[in-house]
Structure formats: C-alpha cells, structure tokens
Amino acid sequence: MRPKRILFGVVFTAIVFAAIGVERVEAKAAKKSCKPNLAACPDEGCGTDFDPNLNKRKNIRANDPAAAGTAEAWTLTSMRKLDDPESFEKGGSRDELKNLGEGKKIVVVANLLIARAELSGESCNCGLHKAEETDNHLVLVTKATVDKFPLDPNDTDEATKKDILHSRELESQTAEFTPRVRLDHPNFTREKVQPMIDDADQEALLVRVTGLLLFDSEHFLQHHLARVNNWEIHPVLKLEVCTTKACTAASDEGWKSLDDL
C-alpha cells in the first residue's frame, strides 16, 4: 500500500503546485491591466512606468478640437525627413516636438503592408488586452519599397515572405488605429483591413491616411522598432482605400473611405 500512497502524494503535490502556478500566472496577468475597461481609462493612461504627456497625444479622439481642421498633403518621404528631438526627456514638455511638427494634421498616400494587433497591454490603453480596447499598428511604405522587395506569387514559402516583409518594414513609417477613435469609426480594425491587404497586388494595399503627426518618444528612448524613424500618424482619423488603378493624392476619384466599406 505504501507505493500507492507515495504515488498519490506525488500526484497530489504536483496538482497543488500546478494550481498555484496557474494562480500566479493569472494574478500576474491581472496586474497588467491598471483599469477594468477603456471607459475607466484616463487619457494619460496608467501603469508602473509611462509617459502621461505622450499618452494624451495618443488618445486624442476623432471629435477633439486637436483633430479638427484641414489636413496638409504630405508624403512618407516628408515624414522621413523630420528631425529627432535633441533634448527630450521622458515625461517632460513636448514643446520641442510640437516645433518639429507633432500635432500637425496630415494626409499621406502609401502602401499598407500589414495591420498588426497590439495586445500586449500598452499604458495608453491602461494595459487592456481586448481587440476593441487596443491599437492596430499599420505599416506604411512607398511603392519604391514594394518594387525594391517584390513578392514572387509562385513562392509560397512563409519564411521567405516574412523576410521580404521585414526588409520592407525597415523602410516603413507607422500609423495607428486607436480604440478611442474607433468609438466613432468602428471599421478601424485589423479584421476589416487585413483581408484587403492579403488580396492586394504584392500584398500592398494603396491607401490614403489622414491623421496627426506624433513622435513616439517611448520607442525613441527604448524598445526600438523596425522602421525609418519614430514619427507616426497617430491617431489615424480617416483611412481611404483605392478602388481603381488611377488614384492620386490630389484627387478624390477612386478613393473610398473605410467607414463606408
């Protein structure tokens, strides 16, 4: 009988420790969200380490006065030429960034390569993880970049496609769908956009993006991303998809708003 008792004890102990482990994992995950939902999340966000001034810029809403006015026509090349700040400190004044261009409303024509979910729990969204309460990271490149790193339609190897996407992304600029703008634009989701990207020639969807310039100082100081620089269109206030082969930046012909799709 002793071997059975020993075996039972071992199994019981393993179950107990496994349960404790699960509880610890769940508790750790629960701590990541500093507010229960987006409605309770302040514009400055929350967490153990964050920049409230940056988060306020990220959390501008579609009907905010800061989002009003006519957008100025820019290009991705124009965004590439924007300077980095020389004396910015985390949590400090963003006046230098404003002088460089932050807050300017712009409209850019670009090729959209991917709409990436950001479910890791960012401080601007109070560490929340649900799709409707988080951002979507949009990777924008020029046609020159797509032509430079073409996809072979006959090559279905996923590793090859991943390498090409990475090469393209190194020449990219970022735009972001945000959950607060999504309250007025429910189609601003990865689920709505990604299938169109997948079906587009070279998996590069021609889009016209309107939004506010933002310098992502968090990724400037740490956690660097694969892209040209840290200037973003954030938040996106309007996204239009080209429905013909003759769309231009200066004309509305052929463009259809994502809100209407």
pTM above 0.85, yes or no: yes
Question: What is the average pLDDT across 244-260?
Answer: 94
Give the pLDDT band of residue 246 (cuts 50, 70, 90). Answer: confident
Peptide bond preceding 235: is omega within 30 degrees of 0, i.e. cis?
yes
Question: What is the average pLDDT across 119-136?
Answer: 96
**How far lies 79's CA from each of 73, 100, 148, 234, 259, in Å?**
11, 11, 20, 13, 25
Asked whether the beta carbons of 74 and 106 are under 8 A apart, the reply is yes
Is residue 151 predicted with pLDDT exceeding 70? yes
Is residue 18 predicted with pLDDT exceeding 60? no
Question: What is the average pLDDT across 66-95?
Answer: 96
Asked whether the beta carbons of 201 and 229 are under 8 A apart, the reply is no
Alpha helix locations (H) across the chain?
2-32, 52-58, 76-80, 95-100, 143-148, 158-169, 179-182, 190-199, 217-221
**Cβ contacts of residue 259 below 8 Å, gap of 6+?**
185, 187, 238
CB count in 10 Å sphere of residue 116 = 16
What residues does each domain of the chain span? 1-32, 36-260
- Strand-pairing partners, residue 231, are 215
pLDDT tens digits, 176-217: 999 999 999 999 999 999 999 999 999 999 999 999 999 999
Cα dihedral 189, 193, 194, 200 in deg (nearest 10): -170
